Amino acid sequence: MTKMLVTGGAGFIGANFVHYTLKHKPEYEVTVIDKLTYAGNPDNLASILEKINFVTGDLNDQALIDKLVSENDIVVHFAADTHNDNSLNDPWPFIENNILGTYHLLEAVRKHDKRLHHISTDEVFGDLELDDPNRFTETTPYEPSSPYSASKASSDHLVRAWIRSFGIKATISNCSNNYGPYQHIEKFIPRQITNILSDIKPKLYGTGEQVRDWIHVDDHNSAVHLILEQGKLGDTYIIGADNDHVNNKAVIEMICELMGKGHDWYEHVNDRPGHDMRYAMDSSKLRRELGWQPQYTDQNGMENGLKQTIQWYTDNEEWWQAEKAKVEAKYAEQGQ
């Protein structure tokens, strides 16, 4: 079997990647390392804990990372602090975990000559105006706008430098906004779903004109596996599902209708400070070179993805219920 180390595997996307791998890629023996701070939740892996090796640890623990990397064949690097608002309140954890943590991982990969795939974000590119028809590509200049996105841009640059300077075997992917099971309920889509399940009206930030190129987490993770198997070493791949025509207002109305409410059963609240207007991803390279195709694309596909996500939160109320009141109280303080 091929041994795979997944960093940040108890977080939203990382945990879904582990679930996806066990279901679709039985040739991998999976080890997860997660710091279990803000973004990591051991409950995300509870149903499969006996099928993986789980290590609670920090990427900045050099001895531990060196040992884990040496024992595995492939490293998939999800671990990162990711919340924009938190990075504005306290940038240091983002510098420490996203930049220094990636550095220590790169040094271990270099030392032991292992294959690395680095997971990044569309937020390194900044944002687009609503009337801008362009999409982000692999050659779009970086223009991060927060400590979070700047730290992810920094980690991307480190990976590219280690590829060029030291010849490590690595690839990078930048993905648009994910949704799906195990996403924290403070995030836009699960917040609205759990509001309706709690008989609370969903909350739309500002006018809701902002556009996110929403991608179901399973589509993201299928792309990552394809890059691992067929991607060209040293290359970067954009991952997007062509859902950049759907603004936040349309998403919240879709959720309301799918959950049996009127399409306008929601409230407008204060917009988020510095809310980026539009993200759009051009994944034509990934589709052309590797033959990738998302399952949940265009309006019908996104509706199917939302149905699957709504069903998961409906069936797993015990996973999110304890946090709900605290999350809503925090938003209420901000007028959101």
**Cα dihedral: 17, 84, 123, 195 (round 10):** 60
What is d(CA 120, CA 136) in angstroms, rounded to the nearest whole number? 13
What is d(CA 47, CA 32) in angstroms, rounded to the nearest whole number? 14
Mean confidence (pLDDT) of the chain: 94
Residue with tokens 């399940």: 197
Q: Which amino acid is at 5?
A: L
Least confident of 16-20, 24-28, 81-85, 120-124: 81-85
What is d(CA 204, CA 189) in angstroms, rounded to the nearest whole number? 10
Q: How far, in Å, are 171, 233, 238, 312 from residue 164 at the CA level?
A: 12, 11, 20, 43
pTM: 0.95
What pLDDT digit, counting tens, does each position of 73-103 carry?
Answer: 999 999 998 777 777 888 999 999 999 999 9
**Displacement of CA 319 from its chain's centroid (Å):** 19
pLDDT band at 334 (very low <50, low <70, confident <90, very high): confident
Positions annotated as catalytic residues are 122-123, 148
Instruction: Please give the domain boundaries of the chain with CATH numbers for all domains.
Output: 2-178+213-239 (3.40.50.720)
Beta strands in the chain (DSSP E): 2-7, 28-34, 53-56, 74-77, 115-121, 169-175, 178-179, 203-205, 215-216, 236-239, 267-269
